[in-house]
Amino acid sequence: MLRATQILVRALALAASAAALLAGCGQRGPLYLPTDPAANERASLPQSLTPASAPASKGSPPSADTP
């Protein structure tokens, strides 16, 4: 069986790990949706996850696997 000190140390390590993960998320300040014209050319999350199903834009070169 675990002793009380082992349980306390593991709980503190878990809490410190969770705090470090939350503090390291990267974005500071409020989240927002960009509205500048360059944002329209960026891929959305579904397009990033499945790039093969994303529609090709007018200015993009053809992919290498098309005849």
Residue 10's alpha-carbon distances to 5, 14, 15, 21, in angstroms, are 9, 6, 9, 17
Q: Which residues of 22-60 are buried (b: 16+ CB within 10 A; e: fewer)?
A: eeeeeeeeeeeeeeeeeeeeeeeeeeeeeeeeeeeeeee
Q: Could you give the CA distance from residue 65 to residue 54 in angstroms, rounded to a whole number? A: 15
Between 7 and 24, the more confident residue is 7
pLDDT at 13 (0 to 100): 96
Could you tell me the pLDDT band of residue 9, with boundaries at 50, 70 and 90?
very high
What's the pLDDT tens digit per position in 18-62?
Answer: 888 887 766 677 777 778 888 888 877 888 888 776 555 555 555
Cut 0.85: pTM above it? no
CB 43 within 8 A of CB 54: yes
pLDDT of residue 16: 94
